[in-house]
């Protein structure tokens, strides 16, 4: 890092660049005397878009190279979609800030303009996420779900939704895709959302819609610069959701969802674990002051009510939860 500058590492996808430029713009306003440079980094998940995330067989396909660059000093800050981060950070790295969260819900985008309940029986819905797959089948067991990778515009095109670039993929056309609403909002594509999937019936991935600003643990100057981006309610909520995920002893490949909200010095966490084929789900909630304890408490409750068996069925799926 130069005497006055900060370098921010990020994935090179359109959505990741938007998120990072959003962080950079806020830092420039807060610290006009600090030069901010964005450093795009291609991750394994960006380089290989044909292999399924399950076949890649490792956590951090969208984050490892960026964290390596942070550790060896090629960048000073890393900006991630928080749900992409492993449940434990590498030694020497910490979260410098968790900015205010965007809408955490999922959205359906269909070629017909129909919502999930109105799609034709046997319709084909695309997603790379086992959580979304299980929730789709739980609500509509008559639908088919196809594995779909690629950035957000690519997945919209796969559902026959016309954008200014690219073309529909070969093979059977999809009737719809399920994606994160926050991604649509950030790229100005919300007009393509035909239904917003409410969290009480379609719980989002832990930390969905939130960003993680990662720094080196010993870089106190950078910590002071990024700390103003931290949003207390978002940090509490995502900490509770991630504690729930950690207590389930898994990563983003598990068919589970969670969403927390705070009210004063207390918060509430709602969570669910869904059978991979959608036939059953175990849901519950917990509340308290300590987010880590709230997350662990809910996990213990659901595990005791049958969630452990559902997670065992899912243990071989291994697909990541996409944007």
Q: Residue 156's domain is classified under what CATH number?
A: 3.40.190.10
* Residue 14: pLDDT over 80: yes
Mean pLDDT (the chain) is: 86
Q: Are residues 119 and 189 in the same domain?
A: yes
- CA distance linking residue 177 with residue 297, whole number of Å: 33
Answer yes or no: is 204 within a domain: no
Give the model's confidence band at 152: pLDDT under 50 very low, under 70 low, under 90 confident, else very high.
confident
Q: Are residues 36 and 73 in the same domain?
A: yes
**pLDDT at residue 55, rounded to an integer:** 44
Give the chain's domain count: 3
Helix axes 232-247 and 291-302, enclosed angle (nearest 10): 30
Answer yes or no: is 294 within a domain: yes
Q: Are residues 142 and 120 in the same domain?
A: yes
Q: Find the range with the poorest average confidence among 10-19, 27-36, 305-314.
A: 305-314
Answer yes or no: is 225 within a domain: yes
Q: Are residues 12 and 74 in the same domain?
A: yes
* Residue 167: pLDDT over 50: no
Picking from 233, 105, 112, the residue whose alpha carbon sits closest to that of residue 174 is: 112
Q: Are residues 93 and 10 in the same domain?
A: yes
**Domain range for residue 130?**
106-197
Q: Are residues 91 and 120 in the same domain?
A: no
Q: Are residues 152 and 85 in the same domain?
A: no
Q: pLDDT tens digits, residue range 24-51? A: 999 999 999 999 999 999 765 554 444 4
Average pLDDT over residues 4-33: 94
Reply yes or no on whether 321 is catalytic: no
- Residue tagged active-site, from 46, 48, 76, 84: 84
Q: Find the range with the poorest average confidence among 32-36, 94-98, 155-159.
A: 155-159
Q: Are residues 158 and 116 in the same domain?
A: yes
User: 3-state DSSP: the chain helix, strand, coil percent, rounded to 5?
Assistant: 35, 20, 40
**pLDDT at residue 2, rounded to an integer:** 44
**pLDDT at residue 47, rounded to an integer:** 44
């Amino acid at each position: 890092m130069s005497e006055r500058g900060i370098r921010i590492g990020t994935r090179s996808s359109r959505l990741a660049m938007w998120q990072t430029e959003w962080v950079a713009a806020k830092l420039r306003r807060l610290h006009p005397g600090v030069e901010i440079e964005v450093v795009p980094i291609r991750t394994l998940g960006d380089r290989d878009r044909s292999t399924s995330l399950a076949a890649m067989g490792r956590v951090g396909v969208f984050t490892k190279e960026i964290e390596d660059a942070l550790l060896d000093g090629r960048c000073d800050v890393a900006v991630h979609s928080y749900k992409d981060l492993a449940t434990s950070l590498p030694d020497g790295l910490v979260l410098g800030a968790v900015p205010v969260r965007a809408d955490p819900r999922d959205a359906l985008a269909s070629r017909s303009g129909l919502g999930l309940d109105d799609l034709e029986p046997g319709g084909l819905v695309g997603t790379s996420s086992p959580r979304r797959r299980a929730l789709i089948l739980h609500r509509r067991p008559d639908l088919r779900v196809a594995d779909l990778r690629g950035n957000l515009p690519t997945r919209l095109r796969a559902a026959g939704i016309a954008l200014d670039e690219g073309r529909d993929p070969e093979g059977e056309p999809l009737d719809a895709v399920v994606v994160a609403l926050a991604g649509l909002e950030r790229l100005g594509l919300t007009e393509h959302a035909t239904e917003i999937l409410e969290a009480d019936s379609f719980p989002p991935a832990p930390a969905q819609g939130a960003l993680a600003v990662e720094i080196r643990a010993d870089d106190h100057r950078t910590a002071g610069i990024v700390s103003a981006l931290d949003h207390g309610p978002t940090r509490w909520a995502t900490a509770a959701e991630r504690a729930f995920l950690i207590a389930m002893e898994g990563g983003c490949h598990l068919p589970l969802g969670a969403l927390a909200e705070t009210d004063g010095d207390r918060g509430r966490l709602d969570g669910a674990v869904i059978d991979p084929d959608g036939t059953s789900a175990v849901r519950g909630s917990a509340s308290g002051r300590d987010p880590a304890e709230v997350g662990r408490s809910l996990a213990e409750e659901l595990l005791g009510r049958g969630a452990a068996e559902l997670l065992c069925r899912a243990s071989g799926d291994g697909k990541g939860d996409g944007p």
